[in-house]
């Protein structure tokens, strides 16, 4: 692919948790480390030491010019300005392939590189990274990594992800925001829902450690059921049974004792009712009563 013999190897711009881990495990898979640039020289030097190859650069455009594969692994807010800076200094050309690793942003923010003829894409590892430690297992192995971008970037992205022993998931560029929202709902909002459950148990008189011990088998069992049967069939409890009396009792107590959870309980209940309606065993006669009970009072 690279016709320019002087451009070879990969460059990391932003030598933090993801940048250094990526560099180490790409190098282990045979990709040639060529250049490291960071905000501070120390971080670029650390990356080079961890990888045991490449060279430290102070000018990101010079580093990018010397490489055919460029990863911008700065914090999200710095990706586009760094890309624009490198593009303005003629750091990219038609032989460059430029990736960032943000989950929240798409490759559209690399448009200044694309205008210079570069292929652009994003590779998002669904992983929580810690700083690289020698002898630590690869944080890429076995995880899923989403890929989007131009055809050439997607093709190369597939090869990179596969060689990192991760599993590629290709998504359309304009789906990146919803993809990231899904990850936030699945992970962060799961924490919010469990926190609410622990708070309700706390109000019921249980110590926080004990409360989690009590809930954990229920949480783990639910996750296993979703994995085995899908979210519709995994649903149990009063909404799918159409048990209006129990829901009414919950709401009376929550409204009285924990009113800040009143709206959350009702809103989650409305979405649970939508799932319940997909089940052949849902008693339809209970539907209007549940709709009424689960109306948010401030609406």
Q: By the criterion CB under 6 A, which residues form the site for ligand NAP?
A: 13-19, 37-40, 43, 73-76, 78, 82, 100-103, 124-125, 127-129
End-to-end CA distance of the chain: 59
Smallest gap from residue 127 Cβ to ligand NAP (A): 6
Smallest gap from residue 175 Cβ to ligand NAP (A): 17
CB closest to ligand NAP, residue no: 16
State how beta strands 55-56 and 69-72 pair: unpaired
Smallest gap from residue 190 Cβ to ligand NAP (A): 17
Of the pair 40, 298, the CB lying nearest ligand NAP is at: 40
Smallest gap from residue 131 Cβ to ligand NAP (A): 7
Of the pair 103, 283, the CB lying nearest ligand NAP is at: 103
* Token pair of 204 as six digits: 């019921």
Of the pair 33, 242, the CB lying nearest ligand NAP is at: 33
Of the pair 47, 156, the CB lying nearest ligand NAP is at: 47
- Give the C-alpha separation, 74 to 227, whole Å: 34
Specify burial of residue 113 (Cβ count, 10 A radius: 0-12, 13-18, 19+): buried
Of the pair 95, 146, the CB lying nearest ligand NAP is at: 146
């Amino acid at each position: 692919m690279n016709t320019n013999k002087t451009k070879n190897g990969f460059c990391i711009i932003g030598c933090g948790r993801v940048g250094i881990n990526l560099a180490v495990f790409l190098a282990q898979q045979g990709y040639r480390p060529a250049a490291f640039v960071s905000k501070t020289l120390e971080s670029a030097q650390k990356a080079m030491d961890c990888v045991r190859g490449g060279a430290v650069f102070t000018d990101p455009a010079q580093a990018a010019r010397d490489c055919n594969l460029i990863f911008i692994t700065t914090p999200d807010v710095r990706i586009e300005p760094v890309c624009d800076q490198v593009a303005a200094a003629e750091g990219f050309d038609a032989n460059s392939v430029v990736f960032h690793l943000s989950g929240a942003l798409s490759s559209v923010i690399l448009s200044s590189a694309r205008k210079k003829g570069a292929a652009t894409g994003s590779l998002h590892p669904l992983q929580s990274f810690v700083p690289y430690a020698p002898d630590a297992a690869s944080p890429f192995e076995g995880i899923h990594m989403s890929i989007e971008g131009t055809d050439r970037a997607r093709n190369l992205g597939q090869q990179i992800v596969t060689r990192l022993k991760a599993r590629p998931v290709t998504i359309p560029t304009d789906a990146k925001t919803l993809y990231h929202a899904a990850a936030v709902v699945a992970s962060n909002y799961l924490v919010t829902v469990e926190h609410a459950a622990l708070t309700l148990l706390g109000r019921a008189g249980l110590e926080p450690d004990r409360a989690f011990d009590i809930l954990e088998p229920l949480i783990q069992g639910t996750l296993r059921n979703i994995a085995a049967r899908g979210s519709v069939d995994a649903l149990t409890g009063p909404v799918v049974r159409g048990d209006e009396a129990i829901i009414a009792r919950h709401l009376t107590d929550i409204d009285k004792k924990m009113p800040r959870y009143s709206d959350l309980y009702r809103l989650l209940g409305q979405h649970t009712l939508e799932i319940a309606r997909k089940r052949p065993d849902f008693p339809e006669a209970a539907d209007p009563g549940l709709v009424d009970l689960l109306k948010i009072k401030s609406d």
